[in-house]
Amino acid sequence: MNTILIKLFATALTLSQVTTRPDAVRTQFDPGTDGAEVVQILRDGCAHMRKAFDIEDINLDELISTAMEDPSAVAGAGAPKLLHGLDIGELNTSYRQFCKGENPKDSPFDAAEVIAFYNKAVTDLPSAEALRDAKLPGASVILDGSGKPYAETFEANGRRLTVPIASVPPLVRQAFVAAEDKRFEIHHGIDERGVIRAFIGNLASPGRPQGGSTITQQVVKNLSVGDDVTYERKIREMIVAGRLERILTKPEILGLYLNGIYLGRGAYGIEMAARSYFGKSVGDLTLPEAALLAGMPKGPNYYSPDKYPYRARERRAYVLSRLKEEGAITEAQMAQAVTSDLGLKPVETARRDSGFYVVDHLAREARTFGGLDSLTAASFTVRSTINAGLQRATESVLQDGLATYERATGRQSFTGPEFNLADAVRKIEAAAPAPSPAPAAAPVPPPAAEAKASPEARRPPAKAASARPPVAKVVGPKPAWLRALESARAPLYDVHWPLAVVLEAGRGPVRVGLADGRIASLDPGIARGKLQVYDAVRVKLREGKGALRAEIRVRPAVQGAALVLENRTGRILAMSGGFSYPVSQLNRVTQAVRQPGSTLKPLTYLAALNAGLQPNTLVMDSAVTLPPIGGIGDSWSPKNYDGGGSGATTLRRGLEFSKNLVTARLLQGGIAEKAPASLQRVCDIALEAQIYAECERYYPFVLGAQPVRMLDLAAFYAAVANEGVRPTPYALEGIERDGKAIYTHAARDPVRIGSADRVAFYQLKTMLQGVTNHGTAAALARNSAYVAGKTGTSENENDAWFAGFTNEVTVVVWVGYDNADGTRRTLGRGQTGGHVAVPIAGSILQAAWANGVPRTPLNPPSQEARRNLIDLRVDPRSGERVAGGGFLEHFRTQGDGRMADTQYRLVPRETLYAMRPDAEDGDGLGGAEDGADVRGDFFGNRAPESDFLDPYGGRGQQPGRSRRAQGDLDGYQDGYRAWPGQTSRSPFGDEDVSRPRRRDPDWLFGDDPRY
């Protein structure tokens, strides 16, 4: 039996069952015993068809004989591929056998072969009940913190906004039914007349095949059995469609259809299509708009109003005529709608290029807090905390900062262009019509011709950006390279450097074309001699007088992350989890831990301040060895960045200049009597501040040796800004579906870190402000009245950090190489937090202020803290109180309101006296015994060390680099910048701040220099 004939009979068997015995459709027959039953089913089906056509006074015999009059029409070269090889004579014989009641001797029918094909086709048939309960994948709309649309998230082929059928106006429903399935309300899933008409029409007029599918069948095809162009799919589709009609109402089926169909412009479903084409909801569609959309399911690309407006108009007119035939509209309404403008909203060609890490994080929070499996499981409205402008700026700043680091250190590597457009350009050029000689005066095209012209051809010429050819925009029809660039999807779709297409490459200048049509001269830099025509590369534009110039930008290997957190609420305003989401989906803000280095030191200083030490308490910046904890393991002897020390220094200066030795010495009596107990108190604060879930009790912890998550570190710094109130970071405000709230972020009461009081937190805040004023983050000195923070650099410069805050926000930046492969790649000698991370953080702060975050001087102490604080002027280096000038320090008071003097608690006066420069024993500044550096004095008057974490040993200063060139060391001590608000000629109101004031340890007359 002919293969095609087997498939046709199996399809006819299906059609006969669903139309004559819909409640008893068999999905398995026995080839040996059920042959007679199959013959009877086919005869019953044909009788049913004849009766159906008799209702319309149509002679089915005449229709079929007319189609078969010219067998060559089917067997010829133009016949549909599925019908090639079909013997029309056999088909005619079979028709007489089953529809005319004849028993021809030459019948080609073999019941066993038909049954075998049918049984296989309906194996594992999908359930109609699954469709009844189906949740269509949808596009969730994400709103930013101001309630404006920010992003969409959807699965492939699922950009859909599902709406209840009740919200679709009756006229819109009628338009789709009139265009696609006029018997929708009366058939039972299969329109037998439509199927036979399509089959006969395809026999008589091979070409664009007719489907004959009902709306119910289209629902089954789109959502269940797939869209394979096979007889097997058609068989399965008809059976499931018949079953679906028995368990769903017509409105429910129509709702599945209208929400499921593809209508062009990347839009699935009527609601998304209405917004995409007309910028409105389906409930606001006009008659011509509804008719235009109703005409598109037949061929969204063929009838595209963007590409073929004349076809779209013709199809719309057909739908309007069908509505008129059905009595849904009047003649006048049809006439007016036919002549109306298409009224299309411009195509949104700009694709979203930011926020991918944010959307991914929101999806995770939706699962954790909202209980959703996926944001794309349906159409949700997601309210976020994101500041859209700040988010994009944060990503741009981070990308620029990472690339700048690699250029500055000579670590750039060009591995090739992002992609190449040569193939796309060739296809566009091949599809373009051959140019014809231009007439002397080109006539204005008639309206019909204009209607058929492509959008590109009808677009008015762009104005030239400059009279100079290299800068001029493209005038006239777009060149092939520009059209190819517009339609390309860049692999690094969230990188904010402009794309450029190489138009001329070689030994001479490289010319590139930009997305706006301009031409620029490119400095290829590291890519010199490696570029080919139509390579697409990233560039940095240099605009000014003369020719437009561009510089190459290549993807860096180094990674980074940045976070902007609102201090009071914990709202995440911006988050960039890496250089580019397509490169790596790992969110380094929330999903990675790295050594924080000195950004963790404020924990130890907070513990010391809470234990009663004052910012002017003197601590020895000299060698120290701490015994093993519990007598187990080795003792610990940390070192500063350059291996030396600077003698006695104040607690404030120890933090401002990130002294490792000072931090370690605070464990020796500065917090508790014994070092292990001091370490435990630091750990307690870390645990209560939720920086860690557990604390590694080993001494290098205080220098940031235990890895931390950026999000948790940011929450701690926000707590410092809030005098100890820690916010809980979050990005998800709420989720809604169909206007109903599914999840709403519950406002939480502030959580106070009780391990330290407000006074300690405020004192720490002012000390961190000193870091930005003249310490390791002195690159921010211009804005230090508004910013406090701390730099951090981990062992071997593997990680570079800055964590800082204003009154309103906390900004944290990390730069480093990923180490997922087990290797740890250093950033390079001297590449510290102050050198690498601080410039990025500074630009993010500027972006925050430019995007609505207030720029206000850091707040004074709260009333609660003020009651236990007294402000006194001190010498900035020695910490000694002075009568005038100096620096206004904030001291904790005792119960009687007087300052609790702890200046010499850790370094007695006698020790300082013995260390004076003119000491008779010649010991000078500690000599070899305490490891102090003889180049300074005992109040630390020398250049500071970096914040480099070296828990297990140190090394010397970087050869060949001045201290000022080392980033973190930018604010060396002899160059102390003025504290915010100081106006005296000397930074601290002292004419000779470089000479320490000698003091007799037995002096009995108080601190006033008048005595």
Report the C-alpha gap between 44 and 360 in whole angstroms. 57
Tell me the CA distances in angstroms from 658 to 220, 408, 796, 831, 943, one per residue in order: 68, 25, 16, 15, 12
Q: What is the 3-state secondary structure (H, E, C) of 854-868?
A: CCCCCCCCCHHHHCC
Residue 658: which of 646, 670, 672, 675 has the closest Cα? 646
What's CA 68's distance to the chain center, in Å?
60
């789109």: which residue's tokens?
Answer: 222
Q: What is the Cα gyration radius of the chain?
A: 39
Say if residue 448 is exposed, middle or buried (CB neighbours under 10 Å; 0-12, 13-18, 19+). exposed
* 830-853 core/surface letters (b: 16 or more CB in 10 A; e: else): bbbbbbbbbbbbbbbbebbbebeb
Q: Are 210 and 299 in contact (CB under 8 A)?
A: no
The reported pLDDT for the residue numbered 46 is 83
Q: Are 793 and 949 in contact (CB under 8 A)?
A: yes
3-class secondary-structure state, position 704: coil
Cα torsion 393, 399, 400, 404 to 10°: value is 160
Report the C-alpha gap between 855 and 809 in whole angstroms. 10
Residue 816, beta-bridge partner list: 559, 799
For the record, the structure tokens of 267 come out as: 């839009």
Report the C-alpha gap between 72 and 448 in whole angstroms. 38
Residue 599: which of 816, 820, 387 has the closest Cα? 816
3-class secondary-structure state, position 666: coil
Report the C-alpha gap between 255 and 232 in whole angstroms. 26
Residue 659: which of 414, 258, 954, 388 has the closest Cα? 954
Say if residue 687 is exposed, middle or buried (CB neighbours under 10 Å; 0-12, 13-18, 19+). middle
**Contacting residues for 21 by C-beta, under 8 A, at least 6 apart:** 41, 44
The reported pLDDT for the residue numbered 927 is 30
The reported pLDDT for the residue numbered 739 is 85
Entry field: residues in the chain: 1011
The reported pLDDT for the residue numbered 694 is 94
Residues of the chain with confidence (pLDDT) below 50: 55-58, 60, 67, 70-84, 204, 206-209, 436-473, 920-1011
DSSP assigned state of 628:
P
Report the C-alpha gap between 719 and 931 in whole angstroms. 36
What pTM does this model have? Answer: 0.78
For the record, the structure tokens of 774 come out as: 């003249």
Tell me the CA distances in angstroms from 468 to 471, 518, 982, one per residue in order: 6, 11, 53
Report the C-alpha gap between 257 and 220 in whole angstroms. 9
DSSP assigned state of 126:
P
DSSP 85-116: T--HHHHHHHHHHHHS----TT----HHHHHH
Summarize the chain as % helix, strand, coil (round to 5).
40, 15, 50
Report the C-alpha gap between 840 and 408 in whole angstroms. 14
The reported pLDDT for the residue numbered 543 is 82
Report the C-alpha gap between 46 and 99 in whole angstroms. 5
Q: How many CA atoms lie within 13 A of 505 on its CB side?
A: 18
DSSP 539-550: EEEE-SSSS-EE
Q: How many CA atoms lie within 13 A of 867 on its CB side?
A: 5
The reported pLDDT for the residue numbered 965 is 31
Report the C-alpha gap between 937 and 877 in whole angstroms. 10
Neighbours of 496 (CB within 10 A): 17
Neighbours of 171 (CB within 10 A): 17
**Contacting residues for 916 by C-beta, under 8 A, at least 6 apart:** 938, 998
Q: What pairing do the DSSP bridges indicate for beta strands 788-793 and 559-566? A: unpaired
DSSP assigned state of 657:
T
**Contacting residues for 1005 by C-beta, under 8 A, at least 6 apart:** 1011
Report the C-alpha gap between 386 and 355 in whole angstroms. 9
Q: Are 943 and 974 in contact (CB under 8 A)?
A: yes
Geometric angle at alpha carbon 21, from 16 and 23, rounded to 5° = 135
3-class secondary-structure state, position 737: strand
Backbone angles phi, psi at 673, to 5 degrees: -65, -40
3-class secondary-structure state, position 435: coil
Residue 418: which of 488, 352, 522, 509 has the closest Cα? 488
Q: With residue 718 as reference, give the H or E element that holds it.
A: helix 710-721
DSSP assigned state of 373:
S
What strands, in cross-sheet order, belong to the sheet with 732-737?
149-153, 140-143, 381-384, 732-737, 740-744
Q: Where are the beta strands (DSSP E) in 412-548?
A: 419-420, 499-504, 510-514, 519-523, 535-542
3-class secondary-structure state, position 853: coil
